[in-house]
Amino acid sequence: MQKISVPGRCRCGRVRFVLGEEPIAFYLCHCTDCQAESGSAFGQSMAVRAEAIQSVEGPTREHTIEHEGERRSFVTHCTNCLTMLWGYGPELPQIRGLNAGGLDASLGLAPYGNMWTRSAQPWVRFAPGPCFEQQPDDRLAMVKAWAERPNDD
């Protein structure tokens, strides 16, 4: 895994962390949960290995979010400004979905792949890469797609 050192933070700045490894996937999620959480048309889902999130300082708390059906996820927020920092699902506890907008520096990466396109806003232009109507059955589909994406140079 390629080592990097990119600082990240919550909106109020009390929580700080360092992303210590390159992401293993970066895609757009058009599900209604991501729309509600982000206040935008989609979530920028950056998947990293759990150990890539390093040097965490400041007041964090993990919450359990119940989704429709049986689905749940575990999300870490700043307790002061309530910014969502990262989260994970019980199926893949070794992978974190990082709030890419919290990184101080752009990694120079463009998202590749889209999921939950069936609830996408009608004006959205999808990112290049695969489009899944819902969550793909293969939970690692986006990780595989990212690894196999064409070089853009």
Kindly state the smallest distance separating residue 153's Cβ from Zn ion, in Å. Answer: 30
Residue 124 found at the interface with Zn ion (CB under 5 A): no
Kindly state the smallest distance separating residue 2's Cβ from Zn ion, in Å. Answer: 26
Q: From 14-22, 61-69, 100-108, 144-152, give the range in contact with Zn ion by CB under 5 A.
A: 14-22
Residue 142 found at the interface with Zn ion (CB under 5 A): no
Residue 15 Cα distances to 10, 21, 107, 146, angstroms: 6, 19, 20, 29
Q: From 5-13, 49-57, 91-99, 140-148, give the range in contact with Zn ion by CB under 5 A.
A: 5-13
CA dihedral angle for residue 23, residue 126, residue 147, residue 116, rounded to 10 degrees: 80
> 102 in helix, strand or coil?
helix
User: Which of 34, 47, 48, 143 touches Zn ion (CB under 5 A)?
Assistant: 34
Q: What is the Cα–Cα distance from 11 to 47, expressed in whole angstroms?
A: 20
53-112 residues in contact with Zn ion (CB under 5 A) are 78, 80-81
Residue 58 region by backbone torsions, left for phi larger than 0, else alpha for psi between -120 and 50, else beta: left
Measured from the CB atom, the residue of 78 and 103 that comes closer to Zn ion is 78
Q: What is the Cα–Cα distance from 37 to 67, expressed in whole angstroms?
A: 13
User: Which of 19, 28, 31, 95 touches Zn ion (CB under 5 A)?
Assistant: 31
134 close to 36: Cβ distance less than 8 angstroms:
no
User: Which of 10, 28, 48, 142 touches Zn ion (CB under 5 A)?
Assistant: 10
Residues in contact with Zn ion by CB under 5 A are 10, 12, 14, 29, 31, 34, 43, 78, 80-81
